[in-house]
Amino acid sequence: MSDDATGMRKGLTSYGDAGFSLYLRKAFIKAMGYSDDALDRPIVGIANTFSGYNACHRNAPELVEAIKRGVMLKGGLPVEFPTISVHESFSHPTSMFLRNLMSMDTEEMIRAQPMDSVVMIGGCDKTVPAQLMAAASANVPAISVVTGPMMTGSHKGERLGACTDCRRYWGMFRAGEIDADEIDEVGGKLAPTAGTCMVMGTASTMACMTEALGMMMSGGAAIPAVAADRLRHAEAAGARAVAMAANGPTPDQIMTPKAFANAFRVLLAIGGSTNGLVHMTAVAGRLGIEVDLEALDRMGEETPVLVDLKPSGQHYMQDLQNAGGLITVLRELRPLLHLDCLTVTGRTLGEELDAAPPSWPQDVVRPMSDPLYPQGGIAVLHGNLAPDGAIVKQSAASERLMSHTGKAVVFESQEDLANRIDDPDLDVGPDDILVMKNAGPKGAPGMPESGYLPIPKKLATAGVKDMLRMSDARMSGTAFGSIVLHITPESAAGGPLALVENGDMIKLDVPNRRLGLLVDDAELERRRAAWTPPPAHEGSDRGYLKLYLDHVQQAGEGVDFDFLTKVADGRKTPV
């Protein structure tokens, strides 16, 4: 059986006799009721991530039906298969801990089972990156379909969006501005429909970046989960996957350095989640492409934030869809994009833009001449506190804190923070800098979204809304505040963050992209000599936790496992 076998002949199970392997496979698949005619068709796999634990994927079953319809309309055989499904709030210790596991599951199921192309249903934060990582490694023609954003809720006449308003209302509750009954009432309205968080959080960011990358059918990022258009988009993806089964393109032909540059351009222009950087770094790493943080920072300086969505702005994803979806953003960015990049449709990004309907007056996507912020949302920092980099989302931060020197108030871990942050005796003032250690890829483990350190209760009740906070953790894309993230190397790996002590002065200088610990080198050397790593995590001697801790890399490598990243081939992005 040749390597370029297709359909049921593809990737036969080893019984030593290829003819017998195919005979046995067909014997078993016939128990599903398929005819020989059906089994001779091109096979389109459908990665079904429905799970009773994943409300963001509640509509996956109807998307599967729509994709199947599209496949069959074009004469293919759709075959759905399950993979791990990861939801943010149902993943202990963190969803990031499980992203790589999901990517391995998805990659191996695409490889192991006979399929000529695959449609992958993702949505919640980690699922789309895991699937793109899998597609990059398996390199079978693949299309990403997302479940789509939720519709907004409403409380006392005010629109509500998960989870920017989850955090805002929780902050109000902590500050004593609303009572327990009201916070409970709001909790029932924050996620009112199927779909993903409807602000420009990680799920929306990844959907937009995936469309810009070319791995999603044009127009698919912002269609609400409950809209009929979402099903038509899924049907079109199924139909397209049949053509891709015969002629590609393959993921490596789509996901080039230029295509990643388009995705990063969009990340900056939409004021997207900082997680988009980590995830796309991991996807690019699967193809041997390195992310050049300095080039990304330069790109940020010349890319304005155009999309007026929470948490940086005021609208929600359904408003972006009503404004024309991501196409409206891409049209504005056109002079800055690589228009010759191939997409899953077989057309280039430029051809997709030419084919899109004309724009109409709207106030969600600003023109380049009147941006929401003149520079992109994310700045890359370096300095003796972050030799391998750190980031800050300027568009979600207080401008006055972007050049700030303050006294460090240090928490050794997430647990230490939880125990002391609301202590009335905590020695902290509004100009101090909250510093949390041991919340990086290895430290937590799983680099949780705990970088959004809460304002100490005694300051919150006194009216302090924002202060400078920093850690080696990540932050939800739905969060808002002056927060330095992804400090690399992380504390648990012995990075300089591990050496920070209470009372040290730290200087943040975003205009010059510097993050400095104002402690002299001799003192830092003394502290380094005395440093010991944190105690081993419970259960770290076996299973997936051991695999994870032995192989997880830092934020600069996308927090992927070293054995999954492809050896760098010299290509860099953004270009």
Shortest Cβ distance from residue 408 to ligand FES (Å)?
32
Q: How far is CA 132 from the centre of its chain?
A: 11
Give the amino acid at 308.
Answer: D
Nearer to ligand FES by C-beta: 167 or 486? 167
Nearest-approach distance from CB 56 to ligand FES, in angstroms: 3
Q: Write out 10-40 in H/E/C secondary structure.
A: CCCCCCCCHHHHHHHHHHHHHHHCCCHHHHC
Taking the least distance from each CB to ligand FES, the nearer of 206 and 287 is 206
Q: How far is the CB of 480 from ligand FES (least distance, A)?
A: 15
Buried/exposed 527-554: b ≥16 CB within 10 Å, e otherwise: eeeeeeeeeebeeeeeeebeebbeebbb
CB of 525 to ligand FES, least distance (A): 43
With contacts defined by CB under 6 A, name the span among 195-203, 253-261, 317-325, 465-473 that binds ligand FES. 195-203
- Restricted to residues 425-464, the positions that interact with ligand FES (CB under 6 A) are none
Joined together, the tokens standing for residue 324 give 């024309």
SS (H, E, C) 235-279: HHHHHHHHHHHHHCCCHHHHCCHHHHHHHHHHHHHCCCCCHHHHH
- If one asks whether residue 125 binds ligand FES (CB under 6 A), the answer comes out as yes
- Which letter does DSSP use for residue 484 in this model? E
Contact 273, 266 (CB under 8 A): no
Residue 276 · residue 283 · CB < 8 Å: no
- Residue closer to ligand FES (CB basis): 56 or 277: 56
Residues between 58 and 117 with contacts to ligand FES, criterion CB under 6 A: 87-88
C-beta of residue 102 within 8 angstroms of C-beta of residue 127 = yes
3-state SS assignment for residue 308: coil
Specify the residue, 149 or 454, whose C-beta has the smaller distance to ligand FES.
149
State the number of CA atoms in the 13 A half-sphere of 336 facing the CB: 23
What is the x/- site pattern for ligand FES, positions 505-534, by CB under 6 A?
------------------------------
Please identify, using beta-carbon distances, which residue of 169 and 373 lies nearer to ligand FES.
Answer: 169
CB of 191 to ligand FES, least distance (A): 8
CA distance 192 to 194: 7
Query: DSSP states of 496-507 as a string?
Result: GGGG--TT-EEE
Shorter beta-carbon distance to ligand FES: residue 197 or 485: 197
CB of 87 or CB of 230, closer to ligand FES:
87
Question: DSSP label at 62?
Answer: H
User: How far apart, in whole angstroms, are the C-alpha atoms of residue 574 and residue 258?
Assistant: 7
What is the footprint of ligand FES within residues 236-275 (CB under 6 A)? none
Minimal distance, residue 476 CB to ligand FES, in Å: 8
Ranges of H-type helices in 422-519: 457-460
Contact between 203 and ligand FES (CB under 6 A)? yes
Closer Cβ to ligand FES, 117 or 196, answer by number: 196
Interstrand relation of 117-122 and 142-146 (parallel, antiparallel or unpaired): parallel
For the CA atoms of 479, 483, 487, 491, what is the dihedral angle to 10 degrees?
-90
Burial classification of residue 77, based on how many CB atoms lie within 10 Å of its CB (0-12 exposed, 13-18 middle, 19 or more buried): buried
Find the shortest distance in angstroms from Cβ 195 to ligand FES: 8
Q: Which of 64, 132, 197, 519 binds ligand FES (CB under 6 A)?
A: 197
Q: Which is nearer to ligand FES, 138 or 162 (CB)?
A: 162
CA dist 190 to 1, 185, 251, 367, 443, Å?
Answer: 54, 9, 36, 31, 31
Give 85 or 103: the residue with its C-beta nearer to ligand FES.
85
Q: Does 557 bind ligand FES (CB under 6 A)?
A: no
Q: Provide the mask over 145-174, with x wherever binding to ligand FES is found by CB under 6 A and - wherever it is not.
A: -----------------x------------
Phi then psi for residue 71, to 5 deg, are -65, -45
CB of 296 to ligand FES, least distance (A): 24
Residue 446 CB, nearest approach to ligand FES (Å)? 16
- Using CA atoms, how far residue 331 sits from 266, 273, 339, 481, 553, in Å, is 11, 21, 11, 30, 36
Q: Kindly tell me which of 205 and 438 has the beta carbon lying closer to ligand FES.
A: 205
Identify which range of 33-41, 193-201, 245-253, 368-376 contacts ligand FES by CB under 6 A: 193-201
Q: How many residues bind ligand FES (CB under 6 A)?
A: 10
Binding region for ligand FES (CB under 6 A) out of 196-204, 314-322, 333-341, 513-521: 196-204
Q: Which stretch binds ligand FES (CB under 6 A): 194-202, 253-261, 303-311, 368-376?
A: 194-202
Q: What's the closest the beta carbon of residue 401 comes to ligand FES, in angstroms?
A: 27
Give the Cα separation of 270 and 415 in Å (integer).
34
What's the min distance (Å) between Cβ of 428 and ligand FES?
Answer: 30
Q: Which string of b and e fits 268-290 if b means at least 16 CB within 10 Å?
A: bbbbbbbbbbbbbbbbbbbbebb
Residue whose CB is less far from ligand FES, 224 or 248:
224
Compute the least distance from the CB of residue 473 to ligand FES, in Å: 17
Distance CA 190, CA 174 (A): 18
What is the DSSP secondary-structure string of 76-103? -EEEEEE-----GGG-SS-HHHHHHHHH
Site for ligand FES in 344-383 (CB under 6 A): none
Binding mask 31-60 for ligand FES (x = CB under 6 A): -------------------------x----
Considering only the stretches 77-85, 197-205, 336-344, 551-559, report the one whose residues sit in contact with ligand FES under the rule CB under 6 A.
197-205
Residues at the site binding ligand FES, with contacts judged by CB under 6 A: 56, 87-88, 124-125, 162, 196-197, 201, 203
